[in-house]
Amino acid sequence: MAAMLTLEEAQERLLALAPLGTVEQVAVDEIPPWRYLAGDRQALRTQPPANLSAMDGYAICGAGPWRKVGESRAGTPFAGTLEPGQCTRISTGAHMPRGADRVLIQENAALDGDHVRLADGEALPEPQRHVRPRGFDFTEGGIVLASGVRLGPAQLALALASGHGRLSVRRPPRIAVLDSGDELARDPAECGPDLIPASNGAMISAMLRPLVGEVTRLGPVPDDEAALAQALAKAEDCDILITSGGASVGDHDLIQHALTEWGADLAFWKVAIKPGKPLMVATRGEQVIVGLPGNPVSSFVTCFLFALPLVRAALGAADPLPLPQHVPAGEDLPEVGLRREFLRGVSDGKTVRRASSQDSSALLALASANCLIDRGAYSAATSKGDKVPVYYLQNG
């Protein structure tokens, strides 16, 4: 039997399979929240385009006192050139007049008609004080956005400021989610004592939808080869198929066989993590299939560690994997065995503790958790106060 893959080995192999979407040009103000830039972008202009005032006050020339000879407003620069002993009224963001080399802020100025002097007790500002020099933010031709960066609000603002009204992004992958099991009831209101409501499909779809906008639901499907074949036929056009349940090798675990009959090839199976050991990855041409375990917590954790990074990679993310933060443990944590453990945790931002239950079926504890505590294989016991790596979840 092949050895289980480490988390890093499995993630690397999965991300190498990511089906990159075609590149399309989208207007900056129409780009959805989770998109990544396809290709570096250079500034098409210089920002600021001239020396600008950083404060309201007076653009001054010389040591003063000064005679006010005009005004420079944002969008309407002063047209002349200042001589020593002259100044203009100036507003934040306005062009510095020629001849002016500093700004006397209005709180430090004393006025007498058109004449301005330093207020009592104030000193002459240093040269370039309260001035934003031309190009201090970026200059034409410089790289302002690197390929693979997530286009959040600040990046979109930067794109527009640097002269780009449209950006290249990748088309989101078409995703289908299939949950299977004879015990799953489609309608939770009509769920007998021998059944459980089908929740994994909705949970996985909710995790993926913010990235792609739309997810096709194909389940729940019973543990039946014909039913599975019929469901898989509806996934012909998807780029990524996420399954939940039936990925192991029990008598009623039929996903691997159904996928083989569908034409898929197993890429790898089993990862040395807890929960989530029976993770399965397969391919069918350019399609990628990620088989998540059926226990809901296992399904959640493996979706977070594998399916979400795969989708980010397909969208062109430079860094698709989640990044941990190191937080002091709020309690002693026991040693770890063969498999790396991801404990459901609750953090107040200062410390982190384990959720009330670590059972892989405990949804109440999962819903109360806001992070995963990463405990490496064979880790020694950790004392309260020691820092541990934590992955924060958008989980409520």
Could you tell me if 354 and 233 lie in one domain? no
Three-state SS letters, the chain: CCCCECHHHHHHHHHCCCCCCCEEEEEHHHCCCCCEECCCEECCCCECCCCEECCCEEEEECCCCEEEEEEEECCECCCCECCCCEEEEECCCCECCECCCEEEEHHHEEEECCEEEECCCCCCCCCCCCEECCCCCECCCCEEECCCCECCHHHHHHHHHCCCCEEEEECCCCEEEEEECCCEECCHHHCCCCCEECCHHHHHHHHHHHHHCCEEECCCECCCHHHHHHHHHCCCCCCEEEEECCCCCCCCCCHHHHHHHHCCEEEEECECEECCCCCEEEEECCEEEEEECCCHHHHHHHHHHHHHHHHHHHCCCCCCCCCCEEEEECCCECCCCCCEEEEEEEECCCCEEECCCCCCCCHHHHHHCCEEEEECCCCCCECCCCEEEEEECCCC
Q: Is residue 319 in a domain?
A: no
- Which of 132, 161, 196 marks a domain boundary? 132
Residue 217 pLDDT: 95
Could you tell me if 288 and 210 lie in one domain? yes
Which segments of the chain have a pLDDT < 50? 1, 251-252
Structural domains in the chain (count): 4
What is the pTM assigned to this prediction?
Answer: 0.91
Residue 250 pLDDT: 53
Could you tell me if 161 and 210 lie in one domain? no
Q: Is residue 138 in a domain?
A: no
What's 151's domain CATH number? 3.90.105.10
Say how far apart CA 151 and CA 145 lie, in whole Å.
Answer: 9
What's 106's domain CATH number? 2.170.190.11
Say how far apart CA 46 and CA 257 lie, in whole Å.
Answer: 59
Could you tell me if 306 and 202 lie in one domain? yes
Residue 258 pLDDT: 93
Q: Is residue 244 in a domain?
A: yes
Alpha carbons within 13 angstroms on the beta-carbon side of residue 26 total: 20
Could you tell me if 83 and 147 lie in one domain? no
Q: Is residue 2 in a domain?
A: no
Could you tell me if 31 and 166 lie in one domain? yes
Q: Is residue 346 in a domain?
A: yes
- Which of 154, 170, 186 marks a domain boundary? 170
Residue 211 pLDDT: 96
What's 380's domain CATH number? 2.40.340.10
What's 291's domain CATH number? 3.40.980.10
**Of the candidates 249, 184, 248, 251, which has an alpha carbon nearest to the alpha carbon of residue 218?**
184
Could you tell me if 158 and 295 lie in one domain? no
Could you tell me if 178 and 296 lie in one domain? yes
Q: Is residue 137 in a domain?
A: no
Question: The domain containing residue 358 runs over which residues?
Answer: 325-392
Could you tell me if 160 and 245 lie in one domain? no
Q: Is residue 276 in a domain?
A: yes
Q: Is residue 1 in a domain?
A: no
Could you tell me if 354 and 270 lie in one domain? no
Could you tell me if 152 and 91 lie in one domain? no
Contact 56, 105 (CB under 8 A): yes
Could you tell me if 211 and 308 lie in one domain? yes
